Amino acid sequence: MMKNISSLSILNLKNTMNIKANNPALKSWIEVAENSDFPIQNLPFGIFSLGEETARVGVAIGTKIVDLKALFELGYLNDLSFELADFDAAVLNPMLLQGKEAMRDLRNRISDLLNVENQELQGNSDAIESVLIDAENADMHLPVYIGDYTDFYSSEQHAYNVGCLFRDPDNALMPNWKHIPVGYHGRSSSIIVSGEPIHRPKGQKKPNPEEPPVFGQSNLLDFELEMGFVTFQGKPLGDTISTEEADDFIFGMCLFNDWSARDIQGWEYVPLGPFLGKNFASHMGAWIVTLDALEPFRVAGPVQNPKVLPYLEYKGDKHVAINLEVAIQPENTEETVVANSNYKYMYWNMNQQLAHHTINGCNINCGDLMASGTISGPKEGQFGSMLEISWKGSKSVAMKDGTERKFINDHDTVIMRGYAQNDKTRIGFGEVTAKILPVK
């Protein structure tokens, strides 16, 4: 039965410091390497398939995937509010319609079953064979059906860098930037899962400002290092979600590469913003890490000056410290790391983004995806796009194979990684990888 998510705040879901599955002392009977992205404290959700079998819901731990359909059929999830159809599905949306409280109960239950001190599943070798899948044998799929996708522009350093490149340092940030979490509605149909190659896009460009535009392939293809968050079902049209309520409507986070064709975008974006320069492809991580699992990594955000309007004010630590890395791998050679950033550098946090998104009564649906915008830190080496790294093509980045990059070449693979870590736990997101094929 679907739960009324809009009433979750009265269920004391704010007391997240005592989430049982987050206990750093937990150990699993499944072997997990010390530097794994997927310890028992993580348990991210995704969609997988084996061979010709239908896709279904899984949870990652170490190098294994827990098949939740099989787990349910064996009776291990009987005391929860879910049905078989929630797990025997090619997207996470049916499961997510159960809401935040139910998902917290599910993650806690899976954690119990994988705990070394629990014999329920550990002591049943036949069940283990049905439930545990080697991740290397599985095909991963886009984890959610994304009805709507919103891309924000919430890293101050990135916005400043772009403003410097296209205007000047004294006029880098637009007048509205520190008053609202700027965003736009992007194309959801071209969001694809990590690992799927894409072709270089083509379109109109205007390389010479004194001459008419030309048509051809994008020569300034760029990645954008972003994080995304996925929502539960929101409130009815006309209602709003406050910064205090926002956590109850956010399921979890994923890595996100929001590709950009800078030459196409540069010609088209005035006056209505990105279009063909952005909508040709975006890559999403296969695993969604729950917001619950990220609670231990909350940090304070920057002092926001000027003071924001009351609906954007928030209490507590709502930013999240997530280490991020981008590498470029030319074909048939080793990768070169070109950026190391951190999600904590965001100026606007998820709670503010969701509150602003709904302040006019816009309704949020289950499975909606919100992306952070490019994440850049304050120093060189921490910039989240080649536009900034190459400073609009004025600098070259050396690859380990001896070649150089200003933007992304054909047959390059871009790899993004992310993890949160403290002195007790590491919670990772896996990778988002994508290879660029020549233009069609």
Q: Measuring CA to CA, which residue among 422, 274, 419 is closest to residue 340?
A: 419
CA distance 251 to 369: 10
169 class by beta-carbon count within 10 Å (0-12 exposed, 13-18 middle, 19+ buried): exposed
Q: How many helices (H) and strands (E) does the chain have?
A: 9, 26
The pair of three-digit structure tokens given for residue 254, joined into one six-digit string: 């994923």
**Residue 384 to residues 195, 297, 347, 426, 427, Cα–Cα distance (Å):** 20, 21, 15, 22, 21
Would strands 149-152 and 289-290 be described as parallel, antiparallel, or unpaired? unpaired
Per-residue DSSP letter, 139? E
Amino acid in position 224: E
- What DSSP character marks residue 144? S
Polymer length in residues for the chain: 440
Residue 297 is classified by DSSP as: G
> Which amino acid is present at 120?
E
Task: Please work out, in degrees rounded to the nearest 5, the angle formed at the alpha carbon of residue 232 by the alpha carbons of 228 and 237.
Answer: 105
Could you give the angle at the alpha carbon of 377 between the alpha carbons of 390 and 249, nearest 5°?
120
Residue 169: cis peptide before it, omega within 30 degrees of 0 = no
Active site annotation includes 158? yes
- Give the active site residue among 158, 283, 319, 357: 158
Residue 313: other Cβ atoms inside 10 A: 15
CB 215, CB 207: distance < 8 Å = no
Q: How far apart are CA 204 and CA 215, in angstroms?
A: 4
Distance CA 384, CA 284 (A): 16
Strand partners, 46: 58
CA distance 14 to 385: 35
Whether 295 contacts 339, CB under 8 Å = no
Q: Which residues are catalytic?
A: 158
